Amino acid sequence: MEYTTLGRTGLKASVAGLGCGGFSRIGLGTGGSEDDAVRLIRLALDLGVNVLDTAAVYGTETVVGKAVRGVPRDSVIICTKASRDRGDNRFYVDKILASLEGSCQRLGLDYVDVFQLHAVPPAQYDFVRNEIAPALLRAREQGKFRFLGITETSPNDTNHDMLHHALPDGIWDTAMFAFHLMHQPARERVFPLTRTYRVGTLMMFAVRQIFARPAQLAATVKQLAAEGKVPAWLAEGDDPLGFLVHPDGASSVIDAAYRYVRHEQGVDVVLFGTGDAAHLRNNIESILKPPLAEADRTKVADLFSHLRGVGLVAPPFARARRG
């Protein structure tokens, strides 16, 4: 495993982080048992992953807590999140603080390393900064968590407007946001700010469904071509990103997707989700590979850097919450 410093937190974080939500929810979302999920997390830890990202809304905190029981506390970075309740049109201080307390209880921990305010829309950021953040900073002083993070509503904030506004405030130690082969606006809108203000970055949506499902990728590219957003030749076959797979390049589109994100300047941790041990090993292997060939990276930027919001499909629980 390779490790990096997570922004100004000073935490030594594995460049591959296990996301415990997403569509798989460490296997719980695809029929796996809690014992299976615990074994999967422990395998990730054995392979050097030390970043575990969960959330109250994921329903996986209890499993994460079981998996890290007996693990030296300073050897793992536990990140969790608090969201708006379904139907709420804004965040409430009492609910966020209750969520923090509940997360610690479910995880079986006295504190979490990174507590993140989850899925903050641009229109609510000023309220969050002025009303929610001060209460959370007081909770940090009480030892409930070590560092404060924020995450975006990627499918509904495709130009990263919330983070572009939030990062200069100096409140947020980490930021979680989307960046992938066909959604690259963070290169101009976010990474310059995270580097300037030394904010640690946790990357989501590196693969998700669009690159894991060939038929979905092909259909998406055909639609983009029909709209004149990508060259027509990309839509002529069923493998539009096949140009990335060659002897000196990636071994698969998924491999290319992880490597593209991992080696973008400004990326600290690439989050991945899985419910399968072989898949876990493959994802880590891809994240640890060298960068894609410069010609391939240049071609991807030339073809797709203007796109916004492609492939940013939220998991079912997140869609339900936005209700």
* Per-residue model confidence as pLDDT tens digits over 184-213: 999 999 999 999 999 999 999 999 889 999
Q: Average pLDDT of 27-56?
A: 96
What mean pLDDT is reported for the chain? 95
Q: Average pLDDT of 232-241?
A: 95
Does residue 145 or residue 85 have the better pLDDT? 145
pLDDT at 89: 87
In degrees, to the nearest 5, what angle opens at C-alpha 57 toward C-alphas 105 and 8?
75
Residues 6 or more apart whose Cβ sits within 8 Å of residue 113: 11, 77, 78, 79, 145, 146, 147
* pTM for this predicted structure: 0.94
**CATH number corresponding to 3-213+267-291:** 3.20.20.100
> How does residue 216 score in pLDDT terms, banded at 50, 70 and 90?
very high
Nearest to 245 by CA among 284, 209, 299: 299
10, pLDDT greater than 90: yes
pLDDT at 313: 81
Q: Average pLDDT of 271-284?
A: 96
Nearest to 12 by CA among 75, 104, 103, 90: 75
E strand or H helix at 189, and its extent?
helix 186-189
* Contact call for residues 55 and 69 (beta carbons, < 8 A): no
Q: Average pLDDT of 297-307?
A: 97
Nearest to 178 by CA among 208, 204, 210, 212: 204
2, pLDDT greater than 80: yes
323, pLDDT greater than 50: no
> How does residue 20 score in pLDDT terms, banded at 50, 70 and 90?
very high
Residue 175 CA to its chain's centroid (Å): 9
pLDDT at 319: 47
